[in-house]
Amino acid sequence: MAEGRISTRLSGDVAAWLEDRTDRMMTGSKDIQARLELGAWRNALMVELRRIRLTVDQANCLADVMNGTAMDAAFAGSAGIVFYNASDAFQLVHQSPFPGESAYGAKWNIDEEALLSYLRGLGPTADHALHDAISRWWKLKADPTVEGWARVGLTVAPSPQGGDA
């Protein structure tokens, strides 16, 4: 694994926050503290990703919806980026004037409203972890299977109808 040095200028409020954390955690160095904070963020993403419960068809539907969306560090607020993207995509297809355009629920054999309800309940860290996993899944060109999703740390259940994809 490549080792690297990162240098950045922090805004006043972030610099003060890091200084405060350095003092209270007694690490003695903002550099050490920043490294610890980055590790903590990575661990938080991994923990939240492990807590997400989807079927393989739900995950594949979300990958379909999120295909081509850019990853960023933004948080959407009370509901997350994945929720908003799925909600918009589902609504657009249902309102489509194009005959024969299949709804995501029919395409993936899922209950769209149940999936949206679940996504609405994810916190911002879990939403970000899910978005990241979907992005990595596309980058790896992973299979749309339980095993394919496991490659990016997302544990999905086989779909109820017995299929894996």
User: Each residue of 87-115: pLDDT tens digit?
Assistant: 999 999 888 766 666 799 999 999 999 99
Residues 44 and 77 both lie in one domain: no
pLDDT for 73 equals 76
Residues 111 and 147 both lie in one domain: yes
% of the chain surpassing 70 pLDDT: 91
Residues 86 and 132 both lie in one domain: yes
Residue recorded with tokens 């009370």: 78
Q: What is the pLDDT of residues 73-92, one digit of tens each?
A: 777 666 789 999 999 999 99
Type of residue at 12: G
Please check whether residue 25 lies inside any domain of the structure: yes
Q: Which residue has the higher pLDDT, 3 or 41?
A: 41
In terms of Cα–Cα distance, which of 78, 58, 39 is closest to 133?
58
Residues 92 and 149 both lie in one domain: yes
How many distinct structural domains can be found in the chain?
2
Residues 127 and 80 both lie in one domain: yes
Residues 27 and 84 both lie in one domain: no
Please check whether residue 162 lies inside any domain of the structure: no
Q: What is the pTM of this model?
A: 0.86
Domain that holds residue 148: 54-157
* Phi–psi pair at 55, nearest 5 degrees: -85, 165
Please check whether residue 1 lies inside any domain of the structure: no
Residues 80 and 111 both lie in one domain: yes
CB distance 41 to 73 below 8 Å: no
Residues 78 and 129 both lie in one domain: yes
Residues 95 and 115 both lie in one domain: yes
Residues 80 and 139 both lie in one domain: yes
Residues 64 and 89 both lie in one domain: yes
Residues 32 and 72 both lie in one domain: no
pLDDT for 78 equals 66
pLDDT at position 59 over 60: yes
pLDDT averaged over the chain? Answer: 89
